[in-house]
A and B are shown apart, each in its own frame.
Chain A
């Protein structure tokens, strides 16, 4: 690593700087979007969320910083290539937010392979994943024009399933009974809560960051807030319900409480009414806890995928749910504009 890591990192950075030099210019128009919140989520939120392993805390926060810092530069370029004007990429606050989003997908995949890769491998993965992410996002958002404001599908599902497949190839039969270091300690659990709380608090910003109109932004904030709040309640309930002695499990509290934000993502800006958001959040919490309890062991033993962070339960399944909810919400909204004169009052 003494030779490989510095060479690779410096090479990538030089390439990025050259590409920035050739293509990237500042955009003159300014917009007032909340950029800091998303940035805090990426670096503090995701970074600390993954510190739950008792001997891997430095690497979690450190590699998180490394690949996110590289990923956002690479993401700016790749996303920019799809929107070039006269051979130039214009960057503004919105492209910074979008670049942060692309690193979110990367960090989710990082969660699936946490503890099993070296920083060199992670840099290579960042390079590839963000390239594919940018293409996929372009297809989904620009060509198919899907409604996906908080990116349940393009970020969370994409990141989770990408990570799971990578984890499949990193499978080692020797780890079938688990690794001695693959558990948490009292302090590492508490550090992971720092990440959880930051993610939980700023998720409304994440889902509303790129909303077009202020009305949509306002709705996205409120929907995400209620979805997350409802999710916390069902997570506590199910965590206690599924344990034979009725005790709570820190893994569920750290991860599943965020599923509500993932699931409501794709329809957050639609008029789904607060109770709709709460329903989505509650379902997401239940699915996520059940996934942690039963699906993760199944994946590890049968499908040979060792998902360290449980990203399938936090991002994959709730992302899927969010996709479905988005379809339903869009369909209802469509039907609603046709039928609105005939509907009872509380839908209006």
Chain B
């Protein structure tokens, strides 16, 4: 079993990627041009540094966040870069055609690149659930499908259900998490029920993963506020996210120690539950006007994350035959749902007096939320089915969670 070689990806990977890049260049040649910067004021308001923050989060933050497996670190970082580069170009094309296709041309600017980068988050979250179990060819295909599915989902939510664009983008965590979970259902051979030796984190790999977590943690206020156009809302979103994510960090430490028999911290919780507050604040960051509400949300999100990973996950995942390597369900999925529900509750509370007037739009929010979940589950199921196809040369189970299947190692690198 151990001598089983993974299939060579030489022709498969290079042909697919080169084909995609050629296709992108051709599509860009025919349809895409710069937006003529009509007013430079726009460029000023629309700060480049906020775009950079998000970019750092998505490439650097997620890349290192996923390096916690001790033998799969090069792949985590490398494939994150690949998927981002590929996904943003594809997202620009798909979103351009769905949203901004005016007069046979797609105009791009920093704003559209930013939206593309934000929607790639969904792919990274799904890749977290599948971490170590799929090869780069499968990841590339999944990225293409998921970006398309999420763009369609957003288009339906914003154009038909008339939900705000900012809110629809914050569905990204929920979409990514449930899409990834369903796909992971297709890659869960019986062997995986017990933890693999390779599927563990080491001291150093946890440290590398913390680099990613810290970058995500630091820049999350930008993530939640970047799409808001109103200045007051933007500032509120930054404050709220800042406090919520601080509370969730403290809570994660407290509950991690409390739920451990020896009262020690568990790196899994420190890595993941600290971020739950930021995820939960995504929907309503700009509308909450008391820091205490945001902080309560952060507390709840972190509590759910720790408790789920501690108590529920080991019963829930085998029962549903899913295998979630990175724990995206409790890091992104559940806090995202909590945020969505809290958003609805806050809307009801704020509009209590004229509920009959606003009730319809609140119902729409609920509908959009459930639509995203259904869409993620449906398209994820379909995508997972396609990914099991033999054509993609999936790695054998014995080569799961192993860098050696994909990377050239000089002298069988030391310290591996």
Q: Which residues in A have some Cβ–Cβ distance to B below 8 Å?
A: 34, 37, 54, 183-187, 189-190, 193-194, 197-198, 200-202, 205, 214-215, 217-219, 221-222, 225-226, 228-234, 236-238, 240-241, 243-250, 253, 257, 271, 273-275, 278-279, 282, 346
Residues of B within 8 A of A247 (CB): 8-9, 406-408
Query: Does B201 lie at the interface of the complex (its beta carbon under 8 Å from any beta carbon of A)?
Result: no
CA distance A221 to B52 in the complex (A): 11
**B316 interface hit (Cβ, 8 Å):** no
Tell me, yes or no, whether B86 is within 8 Å of chain A by CB: yes
A238 touches B67 (CB 8 A): no
Q: A293 to B299, alpha carbons, bound, how many Å? A: 52
| B25 interface residue per 8 A CB criterion | yes
Q: For residue B72, give the distance in angstroms from its CB to the closest CB of chain A.
A: 11
Known contacts A222-B109, A278-B28, A346-B30, A197 near B74 by CB under 8 Å: no
**When each residue 96-130 of chain B gets 1 if its CB lies under 8 Å from chain A and 0 otherwise, what string results?**
00000000000011100100000000000000000
Between-chain CB contacts (< 8 Å), 21 pairs: A185-B416, A186-B414, A187-B415, A189-B413, A190-B73, A190-B74, A221-B110, A229-B84, A229-B86, A229-B88, A229-B89, A232-B84, A232-B85, A237-B21, A238-B14, A245-B10, A248-B407, A249-B408, A250-B408, A274-B34, A279-B25
Given A185-B414, A205-B52, A221-B48, do A234 and B63 touch, yes or no (CB 8 Å)? no
Task: Assess whether A183 is in contact with B410, with CB atoms less than 8 Å apart.
Answer: yes
A275, B29: Cβ atoms closer than 8 Å = yes
Contact yes or no, B14 A240, CB < 8 A: yes
Q: Could you say which of B54-62, B153-161, B286-294 contacts chain A?
A: B54-62
Alpha-carbon separation in the docked complex, A202 to B109 (Å): 17
Stretch of B75-83, B181-189, B249-257, B360-368 on the interface side: B75-83
CA distance A288 to B34 in the complex (A): 28
Q: Which residues of chain A are within 8 angstroms of B49 by Cβ–Cβ distance?
A: 34
Known pairs A201-B55, A202-B52, A230-B25; A273 contacts B10 (CB<8 A): no
Q: Given A186-B415, A222-B34, A282-B25, is A234 in contact with B18 using a C-beta cutoff of 8 Å? A: yes
Min CB gap A124→B, angstroms? 32
For the complex of A and B, 5 pairs with smallest distance between CB atoms: A246-B10, A232-B85, A241-B14, A246-B8, A275-B28
Q: Which A residues touch B63, using CB under 8 A?
A: 193, 197
- B contacts with A, residue count (CB < 8 A): 64
Residues of B within 8 A of A275 (CB): 25-26, 28-29, 32
Q: Are B89 and A197 in contact (CB under 8 A)?
A: no
CA distance A248 to B410 in the complex (A): 12
Whether B59 and A197, one on each chain, are in contact in the complex, defined by CB atoms closer than 8 angstroms, is: yes
Q: Are A236 and B40 in contact (CB under 8 A)?
A: no
B229 within 8 A of A: no
Q: Does the CB pair B67–A185 fall under 8 Å? A: no
What residue in chain B is nearest A229 (Cβ atoms)? Answer: B85
Task: For the complex, give the distance between the alpha carbons of A190 and B415 in Å.
Answer: 12
Q: Given A214-B44, A243-B408, A247-B408, 15 other A-B contacts at CB below 8 A?
A: A186-B403, A193-B74, A194-B211, A198-B60, A214-B37, A214-B40, A218-B110, A221-B48, A229-B85, A231-B85, A236-B136, A237-B18, A271-B34, A273-B34, A279-B25
Contact A189 B74 (CB under 8 A): yes
User: B60 near A248 (CB under 8 angstroms)?
Assistant: no
Smallest CB separation, A6 vs chain B (Å)? 34
Residues facing A in B295-353 (CB within 8 A) are: none
CB A55 to nearest CB in B, in angstroms, measures 10
Is there contact, CB below 8 Å, between B9 and A37?
no
Cα A278 to Cα B27 with chains together (Å): 11
Q: How far is the CB of B91 from chain A (nearest CB, A)?
A: 11
Give 1 or 0 for each of B259-283: 1 = CB within 8 Å of chain A CB.
0000000000000000000000000
B33 at the interface (CB under 8 A from A): yes
User: Which residue of B32, B113, B408, B411 is within 8 Å of A248 (Cβ)?
Assistant: B408
Check if B208 is an interface residue, CB within 8 A of chain A. Answer: yes
Q: How distant is A227 from chain B, measured CB to nearest CB, in Å?
A: 11
Interface residue B374 (Cβ < 8 Å from any Cβ of A)? no
Q: Does B258 contact A (CB under 8 A)?
A: no
B17 lies within 8 A of A233 (CB) = yes
Query: How many angstroms between the C-alpha atoms of A198 and B64 in the bound complex?
Result: 12
For B5, the closest partner residue in chain A by CB is A245
Complex: chain B residue closest to A346, CB-CB: B30
Q: Decide if A257 touches B81 in the complex (CB within 8 Å).
A: yes
B73 contacts which chain A residues (CB < 8 A)? Answer: 186, 190
* Chain A residues near B416 (CB-CB < 8 A): 185-186
User: How distant is the Cα of A201 from the Cα of B85 in the complex, in angstroms?
Assistant: 11
| CB of B93, distance to nearest CB on chain A (Å) | 11
Name the residue on B nearest A272 (C-beta): B34
What is the minimal beta-carbon distance from A255 to any residue of chain B, in angstroms? 13
Question: In the complex the two chains form, what is the Cα distance from A253 to B81 in whole Å?
Answer: 9
